[in-house]
Structure 1
Amino acid sequence: MKKVLFIDRDGTIIKEPADEQIDSLEKLEFVPGAISGLRSVMQTDYLPLLVSNQDGLGTESFPEDTFWPAHNKMLQTLKGEGVTFAREYIDRTFPADNAPTRKPGTAMLTAYMTDDYDLKHSYVIGDRATDVQLAVNMGCRAILLQKPEVAATMLNTVQQHVLALATDDWADIAEFLRRTERRAEVKRATAETDIHVIVDLDGGGDTLVNTGLHFFDHMLSQLPHHAGISLYCVCKGDLEVDEHHTMEDVAIALGEALRTALGSKRGIDRYGFVLPMDECDAMVTLDFGGRIDFQWDVPFTREYVGDTPTEMFKHVFQSLCAAMQCNLHIKARGENNHHLIEGVFKAFARALRQAIHRNVFSYELPSSKGTL
């Protein structure tokens, strides 16, 4: 599903004058940081829409020929910096008309209130309480271009609940959206397991691992530390049967979350690691190229390490590979089975850290084919 940004115009992209009408080129002035912030946001996977109320546009109080020169100049300037909107939605009514198309009404935007769009993870960006109320009415979150202390005085309790960020700095907005884009949540419930996984590739969230298998938890806990991510992973599984369903389903949910958090994969390094673990050597090679190939060469000499069967680790990484849609080749040698599998998890985490690293100054797709 596509995520959307519903972006306000006056007071958000361009400064709003005292008379609240930008009806001449002389009044056209950009909000500081708006152009660079929007340029950064355009490199994400969000669908950008311009949504604006223009009181009485087309009437004597606001003639068309005074609106379009400044508006088109704004669009032309933004386009020159790589900022374009998928569509523009401009409501022309007065506040007293109480038109359903006027923000915070949603009548102009019903095309996005379908299962094709992920409104839960979409945002309204604006400078007024009406913009936040639009987020409430759309079922999405809000970013308010105001200082936090100002936001606290202008929003009601319901509006505060959907407020994701209040800041008067566009750089903060761009950074927030870049980070939020690389976060994913997966809930997976079957007859055997009930799993909740949250992954933040930029390490901006809480970390908790609890699968009911203590050694498996110990191994999974290597990922946030060595990959630089945050990981919330809680599983209630049928351990009274055996460990298989828990370990397999956790791997599937984790792989799905990692794949989703990568999004378009623009700007990532894509490839990734070899490391020693005491007497062991572990090699993990990884490619988020979209094709699935799994190889495993890790011989164990014990049936269990702690409470976790060693035969399941191959299945864990094979399930991860399939869910992440990647090439994953793993080879390790060593005498101590604890060190052996811990070395594999650490090497995988380091390979993951290297592959998911994103250059924030370049959002090129790491593929000569133009797609991953």
Structure 2
Amino acid sequence: MKKILFIDRDGTIIKESPPTYQIDTLEKVEFYPNVIFFLTKIVHELTYDLVMVTNQDGLGTERFPEKNFWPIHNHILKVLKTEGINFSSVHIDKTFQEEKSPNRKPGTGMLTSYLKDSYYDLPKSFVIGDRFTDVILAKNLGCKSIWINKEDHNHIISSNEFSIYEDVKNIIVLKTDNWKKIYEYLKNISKKFFVHKRTTLETDVKITLRLYGKGKSEIQTGLGFFDHLLQQISFHSLIDLNIYTKGDLHVDEHHSIEDTGITLGKVFHKAINNKKKQGIERYGFSLIPMDDCLSTVALDLGGRSQLSWNVQFLREKIGKIPTEMFSHFFKSFSSSAKCNLHIRSTGENEHHKIESIFKAFAKALKMAIQINSSHHLPSSKGLL
């Protein structure tokens, strides 16, 4: 289901121009501070469709001729488009307030297709605007409201509007005149933790993962060097990871490493399963040098499991980990995450070799999970 940002134009994307409030010359066009920068980040990093909804009082009348409106409006859209900010649709009501048109905000007459189509996830969508009518529109659509408004006072509200403020204030999730805060709020709510547990007679593994995090991690597997390598995945991919593995280390390291790889693959697959539909890049690749070593990792999150491993180690162990277990870890991850992994490494220092592999793996993951600008399913087959 698609989430939407219904965005007002005047007072939200561009500044209003009192006393007429008609943007009918280029001189009146002044973009809201940082709106282009943060809308670009929203488009590229998040998964919302953008829909513009604006009231333009008397557009097409002598008081506001269309010949004065369209060149300016199209110029605004063109500027936004050059930064990758595309609106899937633009809805403009031309009536005056006294006409009480059902199409005029906060009426939903122009937006009935969104109400009727189950393809849209309105409860997780937002109306962003500077007028109280935008707040009421959010209520009428079943959305939440982000109110372009200073945090320490309310925008001017008519007496009629104030009488219903108590009924709608609970849908206002953010009140601010700062587009950075809008971006940060939307970014934060897009972050979701996924958890997977695997318990056998040999191991007990619990992993918590957040795809678009800050690279924070808490790792406890009982194997110091393995902890260090798993921390590299989190740090360099910006995926937040908490990994707790309790295994039969009194036997050997095999089960702990294998089951950690399986569990990490399972929780990762769970996390990206819906993201695929929202348009992740799918493919990732990275080449990491580390002193004498050079490691490359390429991966495809296309739903098929395959590991191609072209790495040779001359030592039996690094830390307490048998070097044969590194390929087994990635094989376990590939099988559970349902992804292709191609890993190559050359060099003399075995520590540098495996650490650069884990870093390259993290960078490839970071690339593959990014949301593409079109939000299309990343397959010409239409299925992953």
Where does 1:299-318 land on structure 2 (aligned, <5 Å)? Answer: 301=316, 305=320, 310=325, 312-318=328-334
SS of residue matched to 2:13 = coil
CA spacing shift, 1:302–1:89, aligned 2, 3 Å: same
Deviation at 1:8, TM superposition (A): 0.4
Matches for 1:174-323 after TM superposition, within 5 Å: 180=187, 185=192, 187=194, 196-200=208-212, 205=214, 207-210=216-219, 215=224, 217-225=227-235, 227=236, 229-234=237-242, 243=256, 244-254=258-268, 257=271, 260=275, 271-276=285-290, 281=293, 283-286=295-298, 294-298=307-311, 301=316, 305=320, 310=325, 312-319=328-335, 322-323=338-339
Distance in 2 (CA, whole Å) between partners of 1:238 and 1:136 is 49
For 2:24, the aligned partner's letter is L
Deviation by residue 1:76-110 (Cα, 9 ceiling, x = unmatched)? 21343336532233455848969697438698256
CA distance in 2, matches of 1:302, 1:98: 76
Moved more, 69-78 or 107-116: 107-116
In structure 1, stretches of 5+ residues that fail to align are: 364-368
1:222 is displaced (CA, Å) by 1.2
The 1-side partners of 2:272 and 2:189 are apart by: 9
The 8 Å contact of residues 207 and 231 in structure 1, kept in 2 or not, is answered as: yes
Distance across 2 between alignment mates of 1:103 and 1:235 = 48
Distance, in Å, in 2 between the alignment partners of 1:86 and 1:54 is 19
Counterparts of 1:112 and 1:167 in 2: how far apart (Å)?
A: 28
Q: Distance in 2 between matches of 1:257 and 1:8?
A: 32
TM-score, scaled to structure 1:
0.62
Per-residue deviation, residues 155-175 of structure 1 (Å, max 9, x unmatched): 986345x22x83446xx4797
Alpha-carbon separation, structure 2, partners of 1:109 and 1:272: 46
Instruction: Answer yes or no: is the 8 Å Cα contact 2:3–2:49 preserved in 1.
Output: yes
Paired position in structure 2 for 1:29: 28
AA at the equivalent of 1:348: F
C-alpha contact 2:262 2:335 (8 A) present in aligned 1 = yes
Counterpart mapping for 1:1-372 below 5 A: 1-18=1-18, 22=22, 25=24, 29-33=28-32, 36-37=36-37, 40=40, 44=44, 46-53=48-55, 63=61, 66=64, 68-81=66-79, 82=81, 85-90=87-92, 92=95, 94=97, 102-103=105-106, 108=111, 111=114, 116-117=119-120, 122-132=125-135, 134-135=137-138, 143-150=146-153, 158-159=170-171, 162-163=173-174, 166-168=176-178, 172=180, 180=187, 185=192, 187=194, 196-200=208-212, 205=214, 207-210=216-219, 215=224, 217-225=227-235, 227=236, 229-234=237-242, 243=256, 244-254=258-268, 257=271, 260=275, 271-276=285-290, 281=293, 283-286=295-298, 294-298=307-311, 301=316, 305=320, 310=325, 312-319=328-335, 322-323=338-339, 328-331=342-345, 341-350=354-363, 355=367
Gaps of 5+ in 2: 158-164, 200-204, 249-254, 375-379
Structure 1 position 49, deviation (Å): 0.9
Q: CA deviation at 1:320?
A: 7.6
- Match of 1:250, SS? helix
Answer whether contact 2:232 2:359 (CA < 8 A) is retained.
Answer: yes
Distance 1:237 1:175, change over 3 A: same
Partner of 2:252: none
- Counterpart-to-counterpart distance in 1, 2:298 and 2:269: 13
CA 1:309–1:234 in structure 2 vs 1: closer, same or farther (change >3 Å)?
Answer: farther
Aligned Cα root-mean-square deviation (Å): 5.7
Q: Alignment partner of 2:192: what SS? A: strand
Residue in structure 1 matched with residue 162 of structure 2 by the alignment? none
Counterpart Cα distance in 1 of 2:62 and 2:197? 58
Matching residue's letter, 1:50? M
| TM-score, length basis structure 2 | 0.60
Q: How many equivalent pairs are there?
A: 343
My pick for the range that moved more, 90-99 or 41-50, is 90-99
User: Equivalent residue of 1:9, what SS?
Assistant: coil
Identity of aligned residues (%): 22
Instruction: Give the distance between the partners of 1:7 and 1:286, measured in 2 at CA.
Output: 39
SS at match of 1:11: coil
Q: CA deviation at 1:251?
A: 2.4
What SS does the aligned partner of 1:66 have? coil
Amino acid at match of 1:207: K
Deviation string for 1:186-232 (max 9, x for gaps)?
635578677542122xx6x472335766655443221343x2x4332
Asked whether the 8 Å contact 2:14–2:32 carries over to 1, the reply is no
Contact 1:185–1:196 (8 Å) recurs in 2 = no
> What's the secondary structure of 1:12's corresponding residue?
coil
